[in-house]
Structure 1
Amino acid sequence: MYPSYNISPQAPDSTGMSTAVQLAAKFKLGWNIGNTMEATGGETSWGNPLITESYVKFVKQSGFTAIRLPCAWDLHVDNKATAHIDPNWLNRVKEVVGYCVNNGLYVMLNIHWDGGWLENNISKPKQDSVNAKQQALWEQIATAMRDFDEHLMFASANEPNADNAEKMAVLASYHETFVAAVRATGGRNSHRVLIVQGPNTNPGLTYDLMNTLPKDPASNRLMVEVHNYTPAQFCFLNEDVSWGKMVYYWGKGNHSTIEPDRNPTYGEEDAIIADYDKVKQKFIDKGIPVIMGEYGAYRRDGSAHVPKELALHNASVDYWITFVTKEALAHGIKPFWWDTGGALDRRNNTVKDQRTIDALLAGGK
C-alpha cells in the first residue's frame, strides 16, 4: 500500500543498549511536554511555545530524569498516497530528542493521538490499512532517529481504544508491526527499548486483556504503558456531566463536610493500590517494566468552579500527586506527569505551581 521506507538498514548494534529492566532502573520521575508536538496544527498551535533546550534543562533542574514527547506524524505527512513524512518535521523532532539525550534525560517518543488514525480504528475492517500506515511511519521515524543511544525509547501509540479481546487482538497486531518496523532498520534500533500500550492504557483492562507481548527479535527489550487519571471526576473534569459530577476532594482524610456531594464515590487509595498490584503481578514481577506514561490531578482555584473549601481541595490535589507517585514507584512503575504548561512556565523557565512540583518530588523521595 505504501513504499518501503526501510531503505538503509544497518547491521544490528547492541553497543551500550540496556535491557528494559536495566534501562527502567536509570530514571525515576518523568515529565510530559504535552499539547505541543502532538498539536494538530503544528508545535505552537495549541498555545505552547516552541520547545527549547533551555526548557528541557529546566525540566531536569526541577527534578525529572525522563521526558515523554507526545508527537503527531500523520498530520505532518506531505504525500498522503505514500505516507511520506515532511523531512522538516522529522528534523525538528530529532532536534528536540537531541535536547533531551544531550542533557542526559531519557526520552520516550510516540505516535500520539495524531487525528485518531490508529487509536480510533482498532477493528478488523481497518486492520490492514492501519498496519500499513504504522509500518510506513515507523520505518521513517526509526531510520531518522537510529543513531541516538539508549536514552531514546519509542512508543507504539498513545491511548488505543480497545476494550475487549477482539480489539485487543487487532491492537496486538499494531504493536507487532511497530516492533518489526523499528527492529528492521537495524543499528541501535535492533536493541532499543520499545514501549507498547495496554488497551485504553487502563490498568484493569490491561491486566484482563493484554496476555501476550509482541514477538520481538530482541530479548527483554519491551515495556508496557498504562495511564492514571483515577478518579476522572477529581483529576480533570471541569464541569458536571451526565456520567458524573466534579469531585474537589480526595483521600480518606480529606473529605468535605460542607460539600459532601464533591467527595469521591470511587477511585481512592485502595483502588489505586489495587490497580498497581495488578500491573506489578502481571508484568513487573515477570521482568517487564511498566511506564505510567500519563497521570495528573489539577487545581480548580482559577476555574469557574471554586471549591468552597479551597484549602482542603488544594491539600487533596497535593496528597493525590504524592500518593499516586510514591505508590507507583514503590510498585516499580515509572510515572510521567502530564503537563501542558500549567506547572512549569515554558516561556520563562519558572515554576508556576510550586505545590505540584513539591508534591511530585515528595512522591519521588
Structure 2
Amino acid sequence: MRSGRQRPHTRPRRLVRAVLVALAVCATSLVPVWTGLGTGTASAAVTTPGTIVGSQSGRCVDAAAAGTANGTVVQIYDCNGTVAQQWQPRADGSVLNPNSGRCLDITGGATANGSRVQLYDCNGTGAQKWQVNSNGTVTNPQSGKCLDANGSANSSYLQIWDCGGTANQQWTVNGTGTGGTGGDFWSGIKAGWNLGNSFDATPCETCWGNPATTKAMIDQVATKFNFLRIPVTWYPHLTSGAPNYTIDPAFLGRLKQVVDWAIADGMYVDVNMHHDGGGDQWLIPSAARMPQVEPEFNAIWKQVAGYFAGYDQHLLFEAMNEPQDANGGNRYGGGTSDNWGAINTLNRDFVNDVRAVGGNDATRWLLVVPYGANAQTGANNLVVPNDSHVAVSVHTYNPWAFCSTTAPNYTTWDGSMNYLPDGDVNNANRLFSSKGIPVVWTEFGATVKPVGGGNNSDQVANFETHIASYAKQYGQKTMVWDNGSTGTGDDQFGLLNRNSVTWQWPTVVNRLSAVYS
C-alpha cells in the first residue's frame, strides 16, 4: 500500500524480536498424498509415475547418472523429464523407480541422521516405507525421520534427518502437492516485483505521477523478475453502486492488456484489491461495517474472477492489501477480535466467490491476507480457508526506521538487526509454511537514502537480499515494493525508472534476482 500520496506509516513499526521455533512435526498429523501410501491398503493406491520436486531447490529427485543398479545414489537434479526422475508410489508404502525396477531405500536399513537414500531391490522392509505429512514432508516411519536434501544444488544427495520444518524437507509428489504446497507450481516462481502507484493510484493510472504502464516496462521487469504483482484500486472505476457495483469494462480491458504483456513474457501475475481498504475508504473490516462492506467486496471479486476465468495458472488473485480500520486504527498491533472475525469472513467469501465461477478459477491460486498484512498478531489470528490452492500474503518493512525514514543511524544493514525481519519470517513459517500453506511476502523493501554525498543502495541490497534468502529457505516467495519514486529519501521505493525504462538501482535488482536464480 506504499505510496507518496497515502503515507502508510506515521510512526515506526513495533519491533518484535521473534524467537526461532524448532519444528518437530514429522511424526504427527500424517496425511497421505497417495491414498493407500503407508497404509497397507492396495485398492486406492495411485499408480501413475511422476516427479518428486524439492520446495527449496525446485529440483527433481533423480537416480544419479540414470543408474539402475542396487546402491545407485538418489539425489536432486534439474527437472528434465527423463526416466531417472520418474517415481511411482505403491500400495505397500514403497516408491518405485520404474526405469530400474528398484525402490527408494535407506542404505543398510539405518535410522540415524545422515543415512543415505539409494535405489535397491524392492523388499517390503521398513527402510522402503514412506509417508507424506500435512506439512509437505515425507517421513520414513521406521526411523521417524524426514526425507532431506543435503543441499539445493545439482547432485545434492538425499538422506534422512530429524524433521525440522525447513524447505529442504518439503516435497511435491507426482505434481499433486502436499497439504496445499503445490510445489511444482511454486517452484516455478522466482523473484517478484510490484507495479505500485499505477493501477492502485486514484482516481487514474497516472494521477500519482507515474507514466502509463507500457509493454517496454513489463519486458524490462521480466528480465529480472518472473512474478508481477499489480495492485489495483477498484472503487474509482465502478460505474454503479449497490447492488451491482459494476466495474468499468474499459478499466478491466486496460488491466487485461498489462496482464497479457506479463504472461506473454512468461511471468506469473498477482492481481489484488489495494487502496479500497485503508484511510477512510469503504473496505473497513469491522463487525459494524460488514453489512456495507461484504456485498461490495463480493460483487467486485465475482466480476474479476468471471472476467479472467479463461486465464491459466499464471494468473493469481489476492483478496486484499493491508485491510485495516478507518484511518489505520491499530494497524501496527495487528487488529482486534472485531477485525479478525471480519477479515476471516472476507477471505472465506473471496475464495468462495472465485471458486463458484468454475473452470480455471476452480483451481486458481488465491492469496488470503491477515489484518494489515501483519506477520505477527494479524497472522496469528488469520483463519486460512480449507482449500488446496490457497496461500497467505503478508508484508514486512521491519524495521521501518531503516526501510523508509532518513534517520542517519538507520542507513547501514550489517546483519545486527537481521533478527527483526527474521522474526516475521519465522512466525509465518510457524503458522503456515511448516503446515504446507505457501507464503508470499507480497511487499517488502527499503528506500535508498543519501549518505555522505552518495547513497546506501548497497545497504538496501544487503537488507532485501537477506530477507529474500531467509524466506527462501522455508519455501516462501518475496515481491519487492516499487512505487516508481526513484529519488533518494523518505518513501522513495522506486527501482525501475519508468520514464527511461532503466533500472535506477541495478545493484539492488541484480542481487535480488540472483537469490532465486
Please give the range of the TM-score, normalised by the shorter of the 2 chains. 0.7 to 0.9
Q: CA RMSD in A?
A: 2.3
Partner Cα distance (1:34, 1:338) in 2: 7
Q: Quick one: which of 336, 339, 348 aligns to 1:176?
A: 348
Higher RCO (Cα < 8 Å, 6 or more apart): 1
Query: Equivalents in 1 of 2:277, 2:437: separation in Å?
Result: 30
- The answer as to whether partners of 1:143 and 1:185 remain within 8 angstroms in 2 is yes
Post-superposition offset of 1:348: 2.8
Instruction: Report if aligned partners of 1:291, 1:335 keep a CA contact under 8 Å in 2.
Output: yes
1:264 counterpart residue number: none
Q: Which residue of 1 aligns with 2:516?
A: 364
TM-score (norm 2): 0.58
Aligned partner of 2:359 among 187, 207, 216: 187
The answer to whether the Cα contact below 8 Å between 2:277 and 2:321 also exists between their aligned partners in 1 is no
Q: Which residue of 1 aligns with 2:187?
A: 25
| Contact 2:399-2:421 at 8 Å conserved across structures | no
The equivalent of 1:76 in structure 2 is: 237
The runs of 5 or more residues in structure 1 that have no matched partner are: 1-15, 254-267, 302-306
Q: Residue type matched to 2:422 in 1?
A: I
Please give the alpha-carbon distance, in whole angstroms, between the structure 1 residues aligned to 2:388 and 2:231. 24
Contact 1:40/1:115 (<8 A) preserved: no
Structure 2 contact 363–389 (Cα < 8 Å) conserved: yes
Amino acid at match of 1:109: V
Return the offset for 1:277.
Answer: 1.6
Residue type of the partner of 2:474?
Answer: H
Considering fraction of residues, name the structure with more helix: 1
Q: Which of 363, 387, 392 is 1:224 aligned to?
A: 392
- Give the conservation status (yes or no) of the 8 Å contact 2:448–2:460: yes
Shift in Å, 1:207: 4.0
CA distance in 1, matches of 2:215, 2:393: 26
CA–CA distance in structure 2, aligned partners of residues 145 and 163 of structure 1: 32
How much does 1:273 deviate?
2.0
Q: Once the 2 structures are TM-superposed, how far is the Cα of residue 131 of structure 1 from its aligned partner?
A: 0.8
Residue matched to 2:479: 336
Contact 1:119–1:160 (CA<8 Å) still a contact in 2? no
Residue 257 of structure 2 corresponds to 95
- 1:129 and 2:292 matched: yes
Q: Per-residue displacement from partner, 1:115-156 (whole Å, max 9, x unpaired)?
A: 647786111111121110111001111111111100000000
* Contact residue 277 and residue 322 of structure 2 kept, 8 A: no
Q: How does 1:1-365 map to 2 (within 5 A)?
A: 21-22=182-183, 23-61=185-223, 63-81=224-242, 82-114=244-276, 116=278, 121-161=284-324, 163-210=335-382, 212-215=383-386, 219-238=387-406, 247-252=410-415, 268-301=417-450, 307-308=451-452, 313-341=456-484, 342-365=494-517
Q: TM-score, normalised by structure 1?
A: 0.82
* Contact 2:373–2:379, Cα closer than 8 Å, also in 1: no
Structure 2 residues without counterparts, runs of 5 or longer: 1-174, 325-333, 485-493
For residues 122 and 74 of structure 1, what CA distance do their matches in structure 2 show? 16
Q: Is the 8 A contact 1:32 1:68 kept in 2?
A: yes
- For residues 301-332 of structure 1, give each alpha carbon's deviation from its aligned partner in whole angstroms, at most 9, with x where no partner exists: 2xxxxx34856x44422211221111111222
Give the AA of the match of 1:38. D
How far has the Cα of 1:100 moved from its partner? Answer: 1.4
Residues 40, 114 of structure 1: 8 Å contact kept: no
How far did 1:20 drift?
Answer: 5.2
- C-alpha distance after superposition, 1:48-107 (max 9, x if no partner): 12212221111111x211100000111100112331111101111112111112221001
Counterpart amino acid of residue 142 in structure 1: A
Range with greater deviation from structure 2 (186-195 or 351-360): 351-360
| Deviates further, 174-183 or 159-168 | 159-168
CA positional deviation for 1:193 = 0.7
Tell me by how many angstroms 1:338 deviates: 0.5
Name the SS of the counterpart of 2:410 in structure 1. coil
What one-letter code is carried by the residue in structure 1 that aligns with 2:396? Answer: N
Query: Hey, which bits of structure 1, 4+ residues long, moved more than 3 A?
Result: 16-20, 115-120, 307-311, 362-365
Residues 83, 133 of structure 1: 8 Å contact kept: yes
Give, in whole Å, the separation in 2 of the partners of 1:20 and 1:119: 33
Q: Answer with 1 or 2: which has the greater Rg.
A: 2
